[in-house]
């Protein structure tokens, strides 16, 4: 019987492996409990990278707090615990040094498992926050093909891409991707970092050619679009919708993917008057981490996995 592999990729503010795997298992239990066919084999893969940038961020926070005027700033905790961690993770990953370390970590934690999978098996990707950006960057961004990189790094990225069906250099081999689930995703913002030009007033992206070709190859194999669920809490300042962005990312080729935005919490009549003001940002961090134990998230993902054949 085919195996459903579930690849978990965390986002910001996740610096300890046990805590990450605990969150994954909470969501995994919700998913498995909602799957009717108990004979279905679901195996998790944990991709943890949160310790690679920790030292650099802590040093930066220390230096910021040493500034004589630091205590004059408003929202100091929000700056250091929310904004700095998100922007810091982005900046450090985009640096060649830390980015390469993340790629190496991905190989050590996920490559061997995926390489041993069969074409009849299925891969479901669940990413949180900045983890969405990291995975898509590794798989599709052209910056990893730059001649400025070491040959070893270029080969490593090629090897990683080769374990997925539909990606060059051997698009007809590897495990097929069956679904994508993004939680609190800033992928819409990341699309701005990959604009490579402008054609007839529309942005073109470095991600677009390889991503579109990948989705087309999957479509030709499975004869149906790839299911993509994008979960967003309305109070999460990092989360953005994707349905309207996919046409831009895929250059109009949206037939290959079935994208649905899912709002995980509607709120209530008492907090709606404040929904567009600064107050919700105070608890935005809590909203950003709420997806792992959300019943709707678990149920929705389980339905998508059950429908994958």
What are 83-119's pLDDT values in tens digits? 787 787 777 777 888 889 999 999 999 988 898 888 8
- Span 49-77, average pLDDT: 91
Best-predicted range by mean pLDDT (185-189, 217-221, 260-264, 273-277) = 260-264
Q: Is the pLDDT of residue 277 over 70?
A: no
Q: What is residue 206's predicted lDDT score, i.e. its pLDDT?
A: 62
Domains of the chain by range and CATH?
3-307 (3.40.50)
Q: Is the pLDDT of residue 258 over 90?
A: yes
Q: Is the pLDDT of residue 282 over 60?
A: no
Give the C-alpha separation, 81 to 57, whole Å: 11
23-39 per-position pLDDT tens digit: 999 999 999 999 888 88
Q: Is the pLDDT of residue 244 over 80?
A: yes
152-161 per-position pLDDT tens digit: 998 998 888 8
Reported in sequence order, the residue ranges of the chain that DSSP labels E, i.e. its strands, are 3-9, 41-47, 122-128, 177-183, 195-199, 202-205, 226-232, 257-263
Cite the DSSP H helix spans in 35-73.
Answer: 54-65
- Span 170-192, average pLDDT: 86
Length of the chain measured in residues? 309
């Amino acid at each position: 019987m085919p195996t459903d592999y579930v690849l978990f990729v965390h986002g910001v503010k996740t610096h300890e492996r046990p805590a990450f795997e605990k969150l994954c298992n909470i969501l995994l239990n919700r998913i498995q409990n909602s799957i009717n066919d108990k004979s279905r084999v679901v195996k998790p893969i944990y991709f943890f990278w949160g310790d690679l940038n920790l030292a650099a961020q802590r040093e930066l926070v220390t230096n910021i707090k040493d500034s004589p005027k630091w205590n004059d700033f408003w929202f100091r905790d929000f700056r250091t615990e929310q904004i700095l961690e998100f922007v810091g993770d982005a900046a450090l990953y985009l640096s060649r040094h830390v980015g390469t370390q993340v790629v190496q970590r991905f190989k050590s934690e996920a490559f061997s498992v995926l390489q041993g999978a069969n074409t009849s098996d299925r891969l479901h990707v669940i990413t949180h926050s900045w983890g969405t950006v990291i995975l898509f960057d590794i798989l599709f961004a052209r910056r990893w093909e730059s001649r400025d990189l070491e040959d070893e790094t270029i080969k490593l990225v090629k090897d990683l891409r080769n374990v997925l069906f539909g990606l060059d250099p051997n698009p007809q081999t590897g495990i097929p991707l069956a679904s994508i689930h993004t939680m609190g995703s800033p992928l819409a913002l990341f699309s701005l970092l990959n604009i490579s030009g402008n054609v007839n007033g529309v942005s073109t992206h470095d991600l677009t050619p390889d991503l579109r070709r990948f989705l087309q190859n999957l479509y030709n194999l499975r004869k149906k679009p790839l299911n993509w669920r994008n979960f967003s809490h309305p109070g999460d300042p990092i989360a953005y919708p994707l349905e309207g962005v996919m046409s831009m990312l895929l250059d109009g080729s949206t037939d290959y993917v079935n994208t649905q935005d899912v709002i995980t919490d509607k709120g209530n009549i008492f907090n709606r008057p404040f929904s567009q003001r600064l107050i919700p940002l105070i608890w935005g961090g809590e909203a950003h981490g709420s997806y792992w134990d959300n019943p709707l998230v678990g149920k929705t993902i389980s339905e998508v996995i059950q429908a994958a054949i």
